[in-house]
Amino acid sequence: IPYPNAELDPDDTEELMNLIKSCADIMDYDSNDYDLDTLTRHVLYTRENFRLLTDLSPMYSKGGNINMCSTEFIDDVMYKAFRLKPERPPVNMLTHLGYCVNGNSYNYTGGYNVYFATDIKNIIRTVKGEDNSIFIVFSDTYTEGDKKPIFEYSTALAKRDSSGFYITQLHMGGSIEFPSDFKPVVPREKE
C-alpha cells in the first residue's frame, strides 16, 4: 500500500481495536449493501463480543429454544458499532425473521451450529481517506471447530463522528484492497 500510515494517538488505536474485536465475528459488512435483519441476528448471536463497546449488560437468558437479550444493550451496540438503529419487529415476526422484540428484550432463535472464534492480533496499516475515513489492515487468527487456527489479514473501513469511530465496512480474510468508494489521501510532494 503506497500511502503513509494515518497518524493515530494511542486512544484512537485502542478504540479501533475494540471496535474491530467486537465486530470481527460478523465476518462481512458493507454499509452500502447489507440486510439489517441479518446483521441484527449476527449481533445477537455474537452479543458477548460487543461488551467491549458498552457498560450495559446484555442481560442474556434462555427459555427453551428462545434466547433473550436486552433491547437497550443491542440498540446501544448497534449504534456504537455501525451507527444503525435495529428494527423492533413484533412477536408475530419471530418465526419469519428469527428475532423479535418482546417487552424490553430481543427474543431470537437459531445461532451458529459450529464453534468459531476470531482473535485479532495487531493493526498492521492505517490509511487516511479524503473523507476522514480510516482504512485498516489487521492480522487475526480464525478458528473453526477443532481445526487448527488460520492466520490471515483482514480489512475494515471506519469513520469518526462526534460519538467516536464506527465501522462502515468489514471484510475478514481474503484480499487486501481499498473499497471502491475509498479515496486515500495522497501525500504532498516535499518542496
Selected residue with higher pLDDT from 1 and 40:
40
**87-142 confidence digits (pLDDT tens):** 999 999 999 999 999 999 999 998 888 888 999 999 999 999 999 899 999 999 99
**Structure confidence at residue 113 (pLDDT):** 81
**Structure confidence at residue 111 (pLDDT):** 86
**Structure confidence at residue 136 (pLDDT):** 97
**Structure confidence at residue 3 (pLDDT):** 87
Residues 6+ apart with CB under 8 A from 93: 99, 100
Report how far residue 38's alpha carbon sits from residue 36's, in angstroms, rounded to the nearest whole number: 6
Q: Is the pLDDT of residue 190 over 70?
A: no
Asked if 5 contacts 125 with a C-beta cutoff of 8 angstroms, the reply is yes
In this structure, which long-range contacts are made by residues 76-80, counting pairs with CB atoms below 8 Å and at least 24 apart in sequence? 77/22, 77/43, 77/47, 77/50, 77/53, 78/39, 78/40, 78/43, 79/163, 80/53, 80/54, 80/163, 80/164, 80/166
Report how far residue 161's alpha carbon sits from residue 188's, in angstroms, rounded to the nearest whole number: 26
| Residue in the block written with cell 459450529 | 114
**Structure confidence at residue 143 (pLDDT):** 94
Q: What is the pTM of this model?
A: 0.92
Share of the chain above pLDDT 70, in %: 98
Hey, which bits of 59-184 come out as E strands? 61-63, 66-70, 99-102, 105-108, 116-128, 134-144, 150-161, 164-171
Q: Is the pLDDT of residue 191 over 60?
A: no
DSSP 24: G
DSSP 173: S
Classify 73 in phi/psi space as left (phi over 0), alpha (psi -120 to 50) or beta.
Answer: alpha
Asked if 99 contacts 107 with a C-beta cutoff of 8 angstroms, the reply is yes
Selected residue with higher pLDDT from 55 and 2:
55
